[in-house]
């Protein structure tokens, strides 16, 4: 007779938020090694899915595909492939989606993408391409009923949108076309997200609007991203990083504190999903997840 002596595995706390991680496809072998260290470190946190971005104008088409294929073959993670409409015909894009479907991908993050002429310039769709991201969403859903489709959402509106109302109409068009989840552009002021969510729900949009969280690895860089994305960098955030440009260690501690406070407040308000812009780094994300109570698989407990 055998006696069970091991303690029962801690029950997964159903109140723990679900998480997902975003990576960009590596350019060099060294970056690839780095990314895989990150993936192996983050995988035990049991994300719902991990997504891989698509470079401007489809420049990373093959690298995105290779990263997704490796995730599928070497891990049990669920990959989501980003895809944009930029500079490609509908046939080109349909082929990319078909390739993904063939290797077992069942989740696409469908985007319009930025103009090849640069952010801030007018977007001109390819004459034979999908004109709007909602057209891409509709095509994917039409061709593959088993494909999950996430889309973008902009709590501070997309920089090209005339108004937040127009932007929410565009989100509604994507949802009507079959989008199953929206992931937000990053934001630092949670009130922006709450206000946006109120307006989105008032517009009859019911899909999850998952907050995109950017842990600030490098404040200067984050400020640059924010300027391009039309996201506000609050004065209080700038003040927290003031004088730390040359002090990486302190900067990292401050970054972890800021992002942990942000997600904890969101979680207290009932937010159940978080998407982390990892920038292919693990440390801050692991720390923030830990604060949320998310531990490596088998060792989860409430915060
Ligand atoms: P859309 O939602 O398509 O909106 C773009 C503009 O068109 C807006 O002004 C909107 O109001 C308008 N619009 C949209 N649909 C309609 C419609 N049906 N009718 C009328 N107007 C409409 N970029 C990359 O290059 N690669 C990536 O991998 C990538 N991943 C991203 C992931 C997330 C979560 C987010 C938030 C952004 C990502 N981006 C990525 C950036 C994105 O490509 C840019 O912000 C781009 O400028 C817009 O693409 P979109 O799909 O977000 O915009």
Tokens representing 193 are 């997200």
Residue 10 lies in a domain: no
Residue 1 lies in a domain: no
Domain count, the chain: 1
Tell me, in angstroms, the distance from the centre of ligand 1 to residue 45's CA: 29
Residue 224 lies in a domain: yes
Whole-structure pTM value: 0.94
Percent of the chain topping pLDDT 90: 86
Quick check: CB of 152 below 6 Å from ligand 1?
A: yes
To the query of whether residue 22 is one of the catalytic residues in this protein, the response is yes
Nearest CA to ligand 1 atom 8: 161
Residue 13 lies in a domain: no
Give the Cα separation of 259 and 33 in Å (integer): 26
Residue 271 lies in a domain: yes
Q: Which residues have C-beta within 8 Å of that of residue 41, sequence separation ≥ 6?
A: 282, 286
Query: Is the pLDDT reported for residue 11 higher than 50?
Result: no
Residue 38 lies in a domain: yes
Q: Please state, rounded to an integer, the average pLDDT across all residues of the chain.
A: 92
Contact 253, 246 (CB under 8 A): no
Mean pLDDT for 216-236 is 94
Residue 45 lies in a domain: yes
Q: Residue 158 belongs to a domain with what CATH number?
A: 3.20.20.220
Tell me, in angstroms, the distance from the centre of ligand 1 to residue 111's CA: 5
Give the Cα separation of 104 and 75 in Å (integer): 13
Q: Which residues have C-beta within 8 Å of that of residue 183, sequence separation ≥ 6?
A: 20, 109, 150, 151, 152, 153, 210, 212, 275
Percent of the chain topping pLDDT 70: 93
pLDDT of res. 121: 85
Tokens 């991990």 map to which residue? 50
Quick check: CB of 119 below 6 Å from ligand 1?
A: no
Task: Give the 3-state secondary structure of residue 40.
Answer: helix
Nearest CA to ligand 1 atom 28: 53
Q: Where are the alpha helices (DSSP H) in the chain?
A: 29-42, 61-74, 90-103, 133-143, 164-176, 190-202, 219-229, 235-241, 248-268, 283-291
Q: Which residue has the higher pLDDT, 116 or 175?
A: 175
Residue 301 lies in a domain: no
pLDDT in tens, 57-91: 777 889 999 999 999 999 999 999 999 999 999 99
Mean pLDDT for 269-288 is 97
Domain with 243 in it: 18-294
């Amino acid at each position: 007779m055998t006696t069970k002596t091991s303690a029962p595995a801690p029950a997964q706390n159903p109140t723990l938020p679900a998480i997902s991680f975003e990576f960009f496809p590596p350019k060099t072998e060294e970056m690839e090694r780095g990314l895989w260290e990150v993936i192996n470190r983050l995988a035990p946190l049991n994300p719902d899915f991990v997504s891989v971005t698509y470079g401007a104008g489809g420049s990373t088409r093959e690298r995105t595909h290779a990263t997704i294929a490796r995730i599928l073959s070497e891990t049990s993670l669920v990959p989501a492939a980003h895809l944009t409409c930029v500079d490609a015909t509908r046939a080109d894009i349909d082929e990319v989606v078909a390739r993904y479907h063939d290797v077992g991908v069942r989740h696409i993050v469908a985007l319009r993408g930025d103009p090849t002429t640069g952010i801030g310039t007018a977007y001109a769709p390819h004459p034979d391409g999908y004109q709007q991201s909602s057209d891409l969403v509709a095509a994917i859903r039409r061709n593959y009923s088993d494909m999950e489709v996430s889309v973008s959402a902009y709590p501070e509106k997309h920089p090209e949108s005339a108004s937040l109302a127009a932007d929410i109409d565009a989100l509604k068009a994507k949802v009507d076309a079959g989008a199953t989840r929206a992931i937000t552009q990053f934001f630092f002021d949670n009130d922006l997200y709450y206000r946006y969510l109120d307006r989105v729900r008032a517009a009859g949009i019911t899909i999850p609007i998952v907050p995109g969280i950017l842990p600030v690895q490098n404040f200067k860089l984050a400020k640059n991203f924010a300027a391009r994305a039309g996201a506000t960098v609050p004065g209080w955030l700038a003040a927290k990083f003031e004088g730390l440009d040359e002090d990486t260690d302190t900067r990292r501690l401050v970054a972890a504190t800021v992002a942990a406070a942000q997600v904890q407040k969101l979680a207290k308000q009932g937010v159940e999903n978080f998407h982390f812009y990892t920038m292919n780094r693990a440390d801050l994300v692991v720390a923030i997840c830990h604060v949320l109570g998310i531990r490596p698989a088998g060792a989860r407990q409430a915060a």
